[in-house]
Amino acid sequence: MRDDVRTVILGLIALFVVVVSGWVIFVFGVGCGLSLDCEKGARLPERTPIPTLIPASLPLAAPGEQETKVSCQVTAVDLIGAWVNAGYPESDSFTFTDINEKDCTATFAGDVQKLFLEGNLWYSGAPACTTCHSAELNEATASMDLSTYEGMLAGSRRASSDETGNDILGNGVWEDSMLYTQLYVKQVMPFGRPPEVPAEGPVIFAGSEVEATN
């Protein structure tokens, strides 16, 4: 009789352990799945009914300031051409017509110069023009400096930094310029340019739309 009671008690204890263990495993499985670090059990982030917006690329205007104007879209070659045909001004703005036939305005420092200074612009992996055409004339290809406005006006095949060389801007006529020939006609620049890159170069955002006057 005593052995029977002991057997029943041990059976109940074993059953209790099994039930508790099963419950713990069930709860853990529901809350954490198969992951031992219980990532599913982490607290969910607080959410709002409004989806998160992609941050704007343009800065917000401060109170009292004018809102930033939306840039125009133009091909790189056409933008440089408009600048050259306008007499290649250094600080004054010049006008151009973008791909959507909008009248726009741009500047050398704000829009044109980056086409020569920035890499990965003309095509993916493209070196900056100044990689080969820098202010170090003894090392620069064709002894041509495209890193500054003064260097561009000084031209190519320069004997020294104090001298001018061959005009690369066509004396203000884009189709007569060396830049036009290299970029558009021969399509050999920037260096390593793939054949699938359009003759006009990439479409970029530049300048701003001219406001219509009444």
Q: Is 6 left (phi over 0), alpha (psi -120 to 50) or beta?
A: alpha
Mean local confidence (pLDDT), 112-131: 94
Lowest pLDDT segment from 70-74, 160-164, 183-187: 70-74
> Would the pLDDT of 120 be above 50?
yes
Residue 105 to residue 71: CA distance in whole angstroms: 10
- pLDDT tens-digit map of 192-204: 899 999 999 999 9
Q: What is the pLDDT of residue 9?
A: 75
pLDDT band at residue 69 under the 50/70/90 scheme: low
> Would the pLDDT of 191 be above 80?
yes
Which secondary structure element, helix H or strand E, spans residue 94, and what is its range? strand 94-97
Q: What is the pLDDT of residue 38?
A: 55
- Which carries the bigger pLDDT value, residue 155 or residue 69? 155
Name 25's Cβ contacts closer than 8 Å, sequence gap at least 6.
none
Q: What is the pLDDT of residue 7?
A: 77
Q: What is the pLDDT of residue 58?
A: 36
> Would the pLDDT of 50 be above 60?
no
Tokens of 209: 């739309």
- pLDDT tens-digit map of 55-66: 333 333 344 444
- Sign of torsion over alpha carbons 192, 204, 103, 113: negative
Q: What is the pLDDT of residue 26?
A: 62
Burial label for 125, CB within 10 Å (0-12, 13-18, 19+), is: exposed
- Which carries the bigger pLDDT value, residue 190 or residue 9? 190
Q: What is the pTM of this model?
A: 0.67
> Would the pLDDT of 100 be above 60?
yes
pLDDT band at residue 70 under the 50/70/90 scheme: low
- pLDDT tens-digit map of 11-34: 777 777 776 676 666 655 655 555
Tokens of 28: 């853990």
